Chain A
C-alpha cells in the first residue's frame, strides 16, 4: 500500500506521482511496474478511424476529378470544340482538387494554408495566360491581393491562436475588425497605386479609425482602465 505524503490518499502501488496532486511518490517496489496496473496502456483509435473516413472521401473526389481530366482531355484532342473553355474547365478542375486536398488537413495547418495560397496564385496565373489579356491584371491586382489576403489571414490566425482561450465576445470581434482594417488598407493601397500611380489612402482610413476605436473600446471593457489612469482622468476632468 502506497500513500501520497501530501494529500494523504492511498494510491496504487505502481504509480510514481499522486494522481490528484502530482506529488512524487517514492518507488518502493524496486521497478515492479505495469504488472499491477488496473488499466492497460490505452490506444487512441480516433485518428486512425478519422483518417480512414477522410481517405475514402478524398479518394472519391480524386476519382471524379481525374475522370473529368480524362474526359476533357479526350474532347480537347479529338473534338474541335471551344478549346479556351476546355482549358478553363481543366484549370478549375485541378484548382478544386488541390483546394480539397489542402482543406482536408493532411499536412500541417501552415503548409495547408500556404498550399491554398499557391493554388490561388497558380490558378490566377493560368487564367491570365489562357485569356491572353494585355492589361496585366495578374501582376497589378491578382498577385498583390492574394498575397495581402494570405498575410492578413496569417496575422488573424496568429492572434487568434494566442487569444482563443480569452473572452470570445471581446477577442473575436477585435480580431475580425483588425482583419478588415488591414484588408481595407491593403486593397485601397493596391487600387490607388494602380489607378493613380502612388499610394494614397482614402476610404480605408475612415474604416481604420472607426475600427480602431471599437477595438480600443472592447479591450478597455475587457481589461478595464488601470486604477492609476482612472485617478489621473478624474483629476484632469475635475470629476
Chain B
C-alpha cells in the first residue's frame, strides 16, 4: 500500500490538518513557533548545513502544500529549505508557491533559533522532535559534540518508520461511537485586535521547583495549577468589569487544553495527534476560589481524560471528515465557508487555550549550550490570547501569544505568581 512507503510523493492531510488548512487566513495563520535560546550567537552557515543534513530524515516534512480539487494535500519536493534571519512578525502566514515553500521555516536571530511550523503538518510533539534533531546536528557540526543519548530526537542513520507519518486519527478511529455533547458559547476577550499580520509574544520565565511544590501542596499537577491560576486571572478580570457589563459577569469561562494522544495510544506519529478538552467554570454560579477551581479542573480531567471519552472526539472528527456531502464540496467553496463556520462554531466554545508541552530535554553534553525553550501558539482572532507552557532545565516558560495589545490578563496572571513568592522574568517582542 502507498501509505507504507517512506519515500512517498504524496501525503494526504491528517484529520486536524484538513481543518487547519481550510481555516487558515492572514490573521489565523495556523503557524506556531518554537524558540530555543543558545549560549552563543547562532552560526547561520552551520545551521543551514545541519538543516540540509537532517531534512532527509524527515521526508514527510520535506513537502509542499498543493491544492487538490476537493482538499489540500502535501507533495514531496526535492527543494532544500533555507534558514533565514528573523525580520518579520512571528508566525507570519505561510504562502504557498508551487513546489517552493515548506510547511515550516527555520529562523535565527542573535542567540535564538526559531522553528515555525504550520499546524497542518504536525503538532507540538512532532515539532519538538524536529527541533531537537536540528539542535543536536547543529552542535555536531559546530563543536563536534556527538551525544550518547539523543532522547526524543530522531536518529539520522535509522530508516524512516512508516509509523512516523501515519494518520493516527484514522488508525485509532472506532466506528459507531456516539459524538461528545455539543459545547456552549462562552466568554471571549473583548480586546481590540491588532492590525492584520501583527502578532505579539510575551514569555514569563519562572523556576519549576517552587511551582511544582505549590502544585503538589494543592494536590494537583503543574498543568492543572497553571490552568487554575489562568482561570482565576480571567475571573478576576471579568469581576472587575463595570457593572453595565453585567451580562458578561455571568458567563462561562472555558479553556481549551489539548491532550497529547501519544500517551494514551501506542502511536509514534510526528503528525497531528491530539484532542482538545474544554474545562470550564460558570460565573453565573458565583465566585470561584482557587481551591474550588482546582477541584473543578481535577474533577473534569478525571471524568473526561480517558480513552473512552477521547474516542468520542476522534470518531466525531474523523466521521465529519468522511461525510460524503462535505467531501464533494469543491475546495474553493470550503475555503470560503470554513473560516466563517470555524469562527462561529469552532472557537465559540473556549475563551483561551493552554497547552502544556511538558519537559523538554537535550542530551547531557549539550546542556551548557542550550539555555531555554519557548513555544508560542498560533494566532487566532476569536481567542485573542493563548498560552503554551514548556519547561527545560528547571525553567518554566509561560508563553503567551496574542492578537491584541492589551496586557491586563497577563498582568493579573503574573502578579498571582509574584504573590506566591515566585520570581518572574518577562520577555516580549512588543515595543
Residues of chain A whose beta carbon lies under 8 Å from any beta carbon of chain B = 7-12, 18-22, 38-47, 49-50, 165
Instruction: Chain A residues near B415: list those with CB within 8 A.
Output: 7, 20
Chain B interface, number of residues (Cβ within 8 angstroms): 37
Instruction: Chain A residues near B93: list those with CB within 8 A.
Output: 46, 49
Report yes or no: B109 in contact with A9, Cβ–Cβ below 8 A.
no
Report yes or no: B418 in contact with A38, Cβ–Cβ below 8 A.
no
Q: Take A40-B86, A44-B88, A46-B197 as given contacts and tell me if A12 and B109 are in contact as well, using a CB distance cutoff of 8 Å.
A: no
Q: Take A38-B112, A40-B109, A46-B197 as given contacts and tell me if A9 and B88 are in contact as well, using a CB distance cutoff of 8 Å.
A: no
Report yes or no: B426 in contact with A11, Cβ–Cβ below 8 A.
yes
Which residues in window 395-412 of B have CB below 8 A to A?
407, 410-411
Report yes or no: B425 in contact with A46, Cβ–Cβ below 8 A.
no
At the interface, is chain B mostly helix, strand, loop or mixed?
Answer: loop
Q: A38-B112, A45-B197, A46-B26 are in contact. List 18 more A-B contacts (CB 8 A).
A: A7-B414, A7-B418, A9-B426, A20-B407, A20-B414, A20-B415, A21-B407, A22-B407, A38-B109, A39-B109, A40-B109, A42-B87, A42-B198, A43-B89, A46-B196, A46-B198, A49-B93, A50-B196
Instruction: Chain A residues near B92: list those with CB within 8 A.
Output: 45
Cα A190 to Cα B273 with chains together (Å): 66
B430 at the interface (CB under 8 A from A): yes
Closest 9 CB pairs of A and B: A46-B197, A39-B429, A10-B425, A44-B197, A19-B428, A9-B424, A42-B89, A20-B411, A46-B196
Report yes or no: B89 in contact with A7, Cβ–Cβ below 8 A.
no
Shortest C-beta distance, A5 to chain B (Å), equals 13
B423 at the interface (CB under 8 A from A): yes
Instruction: Chain A residues near B198: list those with CB within 8 A.
Output: 42, 44, 46
Instruction: Chain B residues near A40: list those with CB within 8 A.
Output: 85-87, 109
Report yes or no: B427 in contact with A44, Cβ–Cβ below 8 A.
no
Query: Which residue from chain A places its CB closest to the CB of B190 in the assembled complex?
Result: A165
Shortest C-beta distance, A38 to chain B (Å), equals 5
Shortest C-beta distance, A237 to chain B (Å), equals 26
Cα A40 to Cα B90 with chains together (Å): 10
Instruction: Chain A residues near B95: list those with CB within 8 A.
Output: 49
Contact with A along B99-140 (1 / 0, CB 8 A): 000000000011010000000000000000000000000000
Most chain B beta-carbon neighbours within 10 Å: one of A9, A47, A49: A9
Report yes or no: B427 in contact with A9, Cβ–Cβ below 8 A.
no
Instruction: Chain A residues near B410: list those with CB within 8 A.
Output: 20
Cα A118 to Cα B203 with chains together (Å): 52
Query: Which residue from chain B places its CB closest to the CB of A8 in the assembled complex?
Result: B418
B204 at the interface (CB under 8 A from A): yes
A-B contact pairs, 26 of them (CB 8 A): A9-B204, A9-B424, A12-B427, A18-B426, A19-B430, A20-B415, A38-B109, A38-B110, A38-B429, A39-B86, A39-B90, A39-B109, A39-B201, A40-B86, A42-B88, A42-B429, A43-B87, A43-B89, A44-B88, A44-B89, A44-B198, A45-B88, A45-B197, A46-B93, A46-B196, A46-B197
